Structure 1
């Protein structure tokens, strides 16, 4: 479970550190930085997939995502006695992402490239990386270190071994030094991070794939857009779908889901009291379909280490907010959940859960800060 999340230099997240629990709800006004926090988490996951450079390029490149304010605020700026202005930079331009967990911690530092004549000269470079045991890096618990092109791994004996001397600046040690013999800890963490799941694009529009029959194969993990929801529901049912049936009945009393199999093509159907035939997915309202998609995602028979939901309440009727909160709380018993939402009803419902950590973001001088700034977890960034 992730216990600490640290982000520095990404959009409005100049320097934020958050403590996380089993169930977390991130909220705040529009423009407070919720989407930036969500994107930063996705960038962390992209490191393990080997595509963090590409993802940054899609966002407009490193200059487009860097914190646009001064490196630090003076006391006079904070008190409003002095206009916000640039200061003499003490550190290099960088974007840093990291987390600490009950098992491993990891951090990456991305910076501006060395000027060159390459057509890829605008790509950011990975300047430093670090992997350690536990929540915070120290002198004795670091397992792998990357500085520039050099990567060193610590052996079981405590001695350091040179794993790479010329690692390309666009390659991460997470993907290129993960080895079952020499870099087992990197391999374990990489696979865990690759299993993180993000749901922010569950389609419910008229043309959504979930509304139409799809070729059915076992689907223990719902696709990011929900296209294979019929196969996911059938998979849950065959493994033991009691929780899914309860979640559906909680939101729609007396209703039940079934999957029609037509020569290997699966179609989702919903049975409701008073109707002589089941409703096809194409006939369901956007809110009803979205709730079913969220239920299939949250009750996955193969739960990830981390699941992040971005504004799951979209298109849901007010009557579905409480069932959704109960569904999320139930899922958090098997996987760590982060919910990003500005829906007060959902935030309040989740906040009533005993183990829920509520994180309220706000803007101060253009910078995103959390309401529990005084309770920030201790953190050490890797040096370049």
Structure 2
């Protein structure tokens, strides 16, 4: 099983320099504006960069240009540096990039390289350089040529997904009729939730039933989804107990829509799961019981997918272990990340929960 175990990141947004170690579950806690979302957006950059050709420049443009994503601007920080370590059963894959500011306010590769360190090797292996001056990643080229290390790195970065189900407004995509054939992967905002569920019902009924039963456990009035395609599109609808009516997304609370999306994401068939699932404040609008179910699903899915969760919820925090927690603090202009020292907290945890220690500012991650 492939896992991202280490990230070194310099010069990105509010992150001047950080070295982060990751486990199977990683819970980011911190005050508003501390920088949790900036770390998440770096993973989005990686995903854009490796998901398809020509996407890095699209990401830079959508972000407002390179000057907007370099730490304190290009005049202060002219480049972004990152190194990732991805562990497999055979050994460790390393991928390192330097993205340099270039006219007209964009980024180009000053360096892109990778290497594989087999577990039993004593000496460090050489790096494979992909050159410099290019505007898009060359991992595709090496992977297509059969380089296994490039394939492993590309596969993890292509199959990481950042999910944020915040938009449940009347015009949200998740509330519209969506293209039936767009059902391969659940979209970042849940836009294709209805076709994704429809396809699962038709091809993976066991997993579909598990989702229905879990939703029913949280919403006792819920019976089943009513997913009927019309003109190659399908709308998220369902039936409720003691009623002949069919209900739609505009009749549901924001929390209900978000909860259905989260359950679908985390209980989908294993073969379609992302390698790395990143959830941005998944607790929004959820009842305490739903938060308990959410924590259980995160733990269960972490056996197959690595999970990073950014949260403001003290209740959600209490369902995890100290070693799962990464504290995020803003110190001056810079975002700092720190793993909790579990051994040092043993005496505290004998009397207090993690959330109580967070609220008392023992852990950090509170407004300065």
- Alignment TM class, shorter chain as reference: 0.7 to 0.9
Correspondent of 2:276 among 300, 303, 306: 306
Q: Which runs of 5+ in 2 are unaligned?
A: 343-368
> Which deviations, in whole Å up to 9, do the C-alpha atoms of 1:305-346 show, x marking residues without a partner?
111111112233444222222222222222111111122222
SS in 1 for 2:227: strand
Counterpart of 2:316 in 1: which secondary structure?
helix
Whole-angstrom distance in 1 between the partners of 2:183 and 2:65: 35
Q: Decide whether aligned partners of structure 1 residues 213 and 4 sit closer, same or farther in structure 2, where only a CA change above 3 A counts.
A: same
Which piece of structure 1 moves more, 131-140 or 29-38? 131-140
Match of 1:144 among 128, 132, 143: 128
Show the counterpart of 2:7.
5
Tell me how far 1:110 sits from its aligned partner. 1.0
Aligned twin of 1:152: none
Paired with 2:141 and 2:189, the residues of 1 have a C-alpha distance of 30
Alignment of 1:1-384 (within 5 A): 1-49=3-51, 50=53, 51-68=55-72, 93-103=78-88, 104-113=93-102, 120-133=103-116, 140-148=124-132, 168-181=133-146, 183-201=147-165, 203-217=167-181, 219-238=183-202, 239=204, 240=206, 241-253=208-220, 255-263=222-230, 264-301=232-269, 302-349=272-319, 351-352=320-321, 357-372=324-339
Give the Cα–Cα distance (whole angstroms) in 2 for the partners of residues 130 and 319 of structure 1. Answer: 46
Three-state SS of the structure 1 residue aligned to 2:41 is helix
Q: What corresponds to 2:356 in structure 1?
A: none
Higher helix share: 2
Relative to the length of structure 1, the TM-score reads 0.75
**Alignment match, 1:382:** none
CA distance in 2, matches of 1:261, 1:144: 51
> Which position in structure 2 is the counterpart of 1:154?
none
Over aligned residue pairs, what C-alpha RMSD do you find?
A: 3.1
Give secondary structure in 2 for the equivalent of 1:371.
strand
Checking the alignment, whether the CA contact within 8 Å between 1:61 and 1:122 is kept in structure 2 is yes
Deviation, 1:147, is 4.2
Q: Tell me the number of residue pairs that the alignment of Structure 1 and Structure 2 aligns.
A: 326
* Distance in 1 (alpha carbons) for counterparts of 2:330 and 2:17: 13
Cα deviation 1:125-173 (Å, max 9, x = unaligned)? 211112122599996334522343xxxxxxxxxxxxxxxxxxx431322
CA distance in structure 2 between the aligned counterparts of 1:134 and 1:29, rounded to whole angstroms: 38
Q: Provide the C-alpha distance between the structure 1 equivalents of 2:324 and 2:340, rounded to a whole number of angstroms.
A: 14
Q: Between the two structures, name the one with larger relative contact order (CA 8 Å, sep ≥ 6).
A: 1
Once residues 334 and 235 of structure 1 are traced to their aligned partners in structure 2, the CA distance between those partners, rounded to angstroms, is: 21
Higher mean C-alpha deviation, range 92-101 or range 366-375 = 366-375
Q: Which has the larger radius of gyration?
A: 1
Kept after mapping to 2: 8 A contact 1:202/1:226: no
Once residues 327 and 236 of structure 1 are traced to their aligned partners in structure 2, the CA distance between those partners, rounded to angstroms, is 18
Given that 2:198 and 2:227 are in contact with CA atoms closer than 8 Å, whether structure 1 keeps it comes out as: no
CA distance in 1, matches of 2:224, 2:295: 20
What's 1:74 paired with? none
- What is the TM-score when the length of structure 2 is the normalising length? 0.78
> 3-state DSSP class of the match of 1:308?
strand
Q: Relative to 1, partners in 2 of residues 1:262 and 1:372: Cα closer, same or farther, differing over 3 Å?
A: closer
Deviation at residue 221 of structure 1 after TM alignment: 1.7
